[in-house]
Every structure is written in C-alpha cells, then in structure tokens.
Amino acid sequence: MTAAAPAGPNFVPLRYRGVAVSTVPREVALDAESLRAHFLGRDAYRRTRFVVARHDPAVPGPTAVLQVERASPEPLFAPVVDVRLLAGPDECAYVVDPDVDTGIPTALAAAAREHAPGARVVVVEGRYAHVNFILEPAALRVVVRDVVPPEPGKLADQAARVVAVLEDLAPVELVARSVRLADLAAAAPAPHYLLPCRGSGGEVPGARVSYLDEHPERADWTLLGCARSRQIHRHFYGEDPPTVDFCPKAGLPGTRPPEPVLTKCCLQEEHVESGDGWTSVPWGASLEMVRTALQGLVEREAPTWRPG
C-alpha cells in the first residue's frame, strides 16, 4: 500500500464521506487475511479511503476498520488493490450516539471517553446516521479558568460552543475550574461586599452587597474584584478598598501550568495574550476571539496533529 498508515493519537478522517460501512458475510472472519481476501478486487467509490467492516448492520457488535487503496483515484468506482487492517474486533468498539457530530474530532473523542474507554479505535454512528472513527483517542485536557456567577461560566460555555463546531482542531477535553465569588467571600468574611457589576447576578449570603457599576455612595466594604475594578474604584472614590482579587489569570505569566489553561483578564480589551501553556482572552471576548485563543493554544500543545 502506497498510502501512509494513519498514526495516532487522535487520528480522525477529515471527511467522513471517505469512510464506508460494509456488511461482510458471517463466514468472513474479521481478521487481516480474511478481510484482505474479501475486499481485494471489489469496486470502491471514489471517495472511499477507509472501510468499517461488520457482520450485522442492525446491531453494534464485532467491528474492524480497514484502510483501502483503489487502482485509480479518477473513476467513480475502481477496484480495491490493497487493504490494511487498522484495528480488529479485539481493539475496536462501535458506538451509536445520535447526539454526536462525527465530523468534529472533539465530539468523537468525548464519545470514545464516555462509551468505550480503553478501545484503541472507536467507531461512532452519530448525528444524521453518519459514521466516522477515531484512532487512539487521547484528547488534550484544557483547563478553563473562569469566574462565576453568572452561571454557567461565560468563558467555559463559549469554549464548549467553539469546540463543538471546529473540524480542524485536535480533540480537546475542557475542564472548567471556576472561581466562585461566594467561596472567596467565605474565606474573607465581611459585613459588606462590593462586586463589579449587578449584571453578573452575584450575591453573598448573609452580607450586604453593592455594585461598583452603579457607583454607590462610598461605604465600608470589601471589594471582590480585580485590577480593573480597583482602577474604577480609585477613579470614583480616590482610594483603594480592602480587596479580594478574583483574577483567573493570576499566577500564569512567567510560569507553565501543569495543564494547558484558557482564561480571561479584564485588563485585556481587544487582544489575546499567550504564554507557556496558557492563553487569555478579554473579559468580554467574542466567540471568534475565544476560537483564536483556543486554536493557538491547542496548536502549540499538540503541534503534530493534523486531521486525516
């Protein structure tokens, strides 16, 4: 076979129309020799590069995944001239989940993690009954540092929406690690707290709460905020209050976190900042800005990955 063998981790055919599903007779074993003998010389459609071979099309069961080569790439149909077994039934799982978009690498990796952990190859029959597979699933864990409320955390929600539609992003597993205002307040008890804005919906049980964006009359309060909140407070009142800083970017510049991190910072207004193992977007980042930041981070952390 002249085509290179797909290499993991996380190999995903970019165009799942290149993946054919074939029902083979039960007398044909799902091993390399038998499948090679069965498929050699058979006509295959022009787009076909891989074959998912099964005995029963109605019931998920023993499955093999093959790479095939046609005599010529030009005709609509051409005979198969070479067959390579990528995974036999002992290391392949077939998953049916109609909620999975099988064109999205992250969605395939999530389905593999949920339904078939440990399988070397996971075939997924997903949305629109489309079928695709992932070879050696090992999604890159990306920690999303956010601040809540509001619920859900905006950045974590945006990141999830972005990876749900990216066909050319290496598979990622987003792990939300949010700073909760109530937890910060509990660690620094005070009778009165000043929060940056009412729109976030933040409340502190058992304490009085004011909101900086409403420019309230100066009081004896503790600010739950960040550098920008302190700047605004200084502008309004001419001084800095006692502060509990909730900046999710704190501690990242100049260090490498244990896992890649996507976060945000109020001091960034229109740009993405990145460092070793982390990236940060503005507090009010658009989906496009989150996509740019996340894609850059993943490409730096998984530089060799390419869709198949």
Distance in angstroms (rounded) separating the CA atoms of residues 54 and 223? 62
- The confidence band for 14, taking pLDDT boundaries of 50, 70 and 90, is confident
φ, ψ for residue 44, nearest 5 deg? -130, 145
Q: What is the pLDDT of residues 149-191, one digit of tens each?
A: 888 889 999 999 999 999 999 999 999 999 888 888 888 899 9
Distance in angstroms (rounded) separating the CA atoms of residues 9 and 29? 27
Q: Give the pLDDT confidence score for residue 265 in this predicted structure.
A: 92
* Cα separations in angstroms, 140 against 30, 299, 301: 32, 11, 8
Q: Give the pLDDT confidence score for residue 197 in this predicted structure.
A: 85
Whether the per-residue pLDDT at 140 is higher than 70: the answer is yes
The closest of 297, 268, 296 to 282, measured between CA atoms, is: 268
Whether the per-residue pLDDT at 145 is higher than 70: the answer is yes
Please, which residues have CB within 8 angstroms of residue 109's CB and are 6 or more apart in sequence?
Answer: 10, 134, 137, 138, 139, 171, 172, 173
φ, ψ for residue 111, nearest 5 deg? -65, -40
Round the average pLDDT of the chain to a whole number and report it. Answer: 92
Average pLDDT over residues 23-52: 96
* Cα separations in angstroms, 171 against 94, 101, 115, 127: 19, 13, 16, 18
Distance in angstroms (rounded) separating the CA atoms of residues 132 and 136? 14
- The confidence band for 199, taking pLDDT boundaries of 50, 70 and 90, is low
The closest of 142, 169, 165, 119 to 12, measured between CA atoms, is: 169
Distance in angstroms (rounded) separating the CA atoms of residues 272 and 263? 10
Q: What is the pLDDT of residues 98-131, one digit of tens each?
A: 999 999 999 999 999 999 999 999 999 999 999 9
94-121: burial string, b at 16+ Cβ within 10 Å, e else: bbeeeebbbbbbbbbbbbbbebbeebbb
Whether the per-residue pLDDT at 237 is higher than 70: the answer is yes
In this structure, are residues 301 and 140 in contact, taking their beta carbons and an 8 Å threshold? yes
Q: Give the pLDDT confidence score for residue 86 in this predicted structure.
A: 96
Question: What angle do the packed helices 287-301 and 154-163 form, to 10 degrees?
Answer: 70
CB atoms < 10 A from the CB of 291, how many?
Answer: 20
pTM: 0.89
Q: Residue length, the chain? A: 308
Average pLDDT over residues 273-277: 95
Whether the per-residue pLDDT at 280 is higher than 80: the answer is yes
